[in-house]
Amino acid sequence: MLLIPCPWCGPRDETEFRYGGQAHVAYPGDPAALSDEEWARYLFFRDNPRGPFAERWSHAAGCRRWFNAVRDTASGEIHAVYRPGEPRPVTP
Amino acid sequence: MSTEQPGAVPPEHPDRLWDSPEPRGSYDVVIVGGGGHALATAYYLARDHGITDVAVLEKGWLAGGNMARNTTIIRSNYLLEESAGIYEHSLKLWEGLEEDLGYPILFSQRGVLNLAHSLQDVRDGVRRVNANRLNGVDAEWLGPEEVKEVCPIVEVSPDARHPVLGATYQPRAGIARHDHVAWGFARAAAALGVHLIEHCEVTGVEVAGGRARAVRTTRGRISADRVALCAAGHSSVVARTAGLALPLQSHALQALVSDLLEPVHPTVVMSNAVHVYVSQAHKGELVMGAGVDACNSYRQRGAFHVIERQMAAALELFPVFARAHVLRTWAGVVDVSPDASPVVGLTPVDGLYVNCGWGTGGFKATPGAGWCYAHTIAHGEPHPLNAPFSLERFTTGALVDEHGAAAVAH
Ligand SMILES: Cc1cc2nc3c(=O)[nH]c(=O)nc-3n(C[C@H](O)[C@H](O)[C@H](O)COP(=O)(O)OP(=O)(O)OC[C@H]3O[C@@H](n4cnc5c(N)ncnc54)[C@H](O)[C@@H]3O)c2cc1C
Ligand SMILES: [Zn+2]
């Protein structure tokens, strides 16, 4: 089980959180202009790296706020957490 | 086919099943990954298509990935026609596999129950039974009392925390010994000339002029006319080295076994809604699986709270398990696709083929997937059975949405 440091509440058990997948996936700026390929990319393709991954979590059983984390999918280590709107921090 | 019951004694392991040749500098076909799908593919390439200049490259030990970690449930009662096609083809191959391979795989057709706990589950289940029958797949709808007849240890009281309102039942479904299946395919493929190379990690696929030419490995560069991915949980990582993105997410999926018990559990019981599936291994352990861990992961270990939840569900359904002990837990890394169906076929890179996205349910497909994939590689085009499972479906929108029948929530 992960110990996830909510940027507002501090470290809490993974069971308090909901997972939201890859972070920084913006809704298309001009949806009507997208080709089928571009729609497929937006809907179905997400990064799936073995290593650092910027992702979203919601502190569902706590403050109920969404935030971002950089977590290593190979080790489980959480390198950083940051609030929505903040840029992805540089992590080692 | 063996009809052995829980408690039966498994066969002795033979001393030696295949050779370990040094990798050559080039092959007609290089298969990346050495799990069940890779071994089945190699076997059918050699046996049915006469392509024997084949190397199977495995980064660890042969079939030590998900092939060694799954809960071995085999069934073909998916909802959609496309799925019925490929999974039922696979089940038919299972039914003759022991003779085919000349090797005991302990395939036991003890049936599978998929329990319904809500009115919606009931409607979905009845619909699936009807769809199965229309597709020539054996299926029955059972009420709670009939569930009890098939599996007396299931709690079917209406007052239970998860009342059993009925179940789909596929009598031809069952389990097989996963390691024996891998060894059987490995032995048969090796006998036909296929090179099985362990401790050989593929670190990159070389593409030139839009064509796959070679793989880079921890044991040197190996050129190949055709490169076929069979890397299960790691498909995204390998495909990316060829500039190919796949619509997959990797997750840890856990299972566990209890200590040895007397034969108590005659069938396989799955409950999607409460997230546990149970059978009793030939030796006597209860084998139990759960859902995937929520977050992406390449760690072959999962979170403890998932096991806790799974055990709570198991005890509600099977009060008799209260005194069993958990002996071992482990996890595999599975790659899950957006429509809970696999991706098998060609890629935009010539000579590069994918077989991935089987997620939590690809063991049952081992012979069928290998058979279809071998055809695809040999002919440079998919067999009609795997044509619907193309990468293009995510652009055309012709998804094969099997979330309801996939039996594990992702
Ligand atoms: C806990 C658990 C329970 C499951 N239960 C069931 C079930 O009951 N029924 C069912 O049908 N399915 C089940 N599955 C799913 C099933 O195990 C998989 O879908 C199936 O095994 C995938 O195909 P495979 O056998 O080829 O994969 P694997 O055996 O995982 O083969 C992939 C191989 O590729 C190797 N590899 C990866 N990257 C590289 C590289 N770069 N170079 C070389 N080699 C590489 C890996 O080491 C691995 O051996 C379960 C899975 C898990 C984890
Ligand atoms: Zn919080």
Work out the average pLDDT over A78-86: 97
Q: What is the pLDDT of residues B298-327, one digit of tens each?
A: 999 999 999 999 899 899 999 999 999 999
Q: How far is CA B87 from CA B36, B185, B316, B366, in A?
A: 15, 18, 31, 9
Mean pLDDT of chain B: 94
Mean pLDDT value of segment B206-225: 98
Any ligand 1 atom below 6 A from CB of B251? no
- Which neighbouring-strand residues pair with B326? B258
Residues B361-377 pLDDT 10s: 999 999 999 999 999 99
Asked if B234 and A19 come within 8 Å (Cβ–Cβ), the reply is no
Report residue A46's pLDDT band, with 50, 70 and 90 as the boundaries: very high
In this model, does residue B10 exceed pLDDT 90?
no
**Total number of residues shown for chain A:** 92
Question: Is B410's pLDDT higher than 80?
Answer: no
ipTM associated with this complex: 0.97
Output the pLDDT for position B1: 43
Whose structure tokens read 């073909």? B76
Residue carrying structure tokens 């759960």: B290
Tokens of B90: 């696979």
pLDDT at B406: 75
Please report the domains of chain B, with CATH numbers, ordered by start residue: 26-69+179-248+339-396 (3.50.50.60), 109-173+249-335 (3.30.9.10)
Site to probe by mutation for ligand 1, drawn from B39, B70, B113 as the one with most ligand atoms within 8 Å of Cβ, is B70
Contacts with A67 from chain B: Cβ below 8 Å: none
Contact with chain B for residue A3, Cβ under 8 A: no
Q: In this model, does residue B20 exceed pLDDT 90?
A: no
* B8 pLDDT higher than 90: no
For testing the chain A interface, which of B235, B238, B250, B295 should be mutated: the one with the most A CBs within 10 Å?
Answer: B295
For CA atoms B410, B89, B64, B42, give the dihedral sign.
negative
Instruction: Return the pLDDT at B238.
Output: 98
Contacts of A44 in chain B (CB under 8 A): 247, 338, 394
Evaluate if pTM is beyond 0.90: yes
**pLDDT reported for residue B2:** 47
Interface touch B299/A75, C-beta < 8 Å: yes
Chain A residues whose CB is inside 8 A of the B294 CB are 18-19
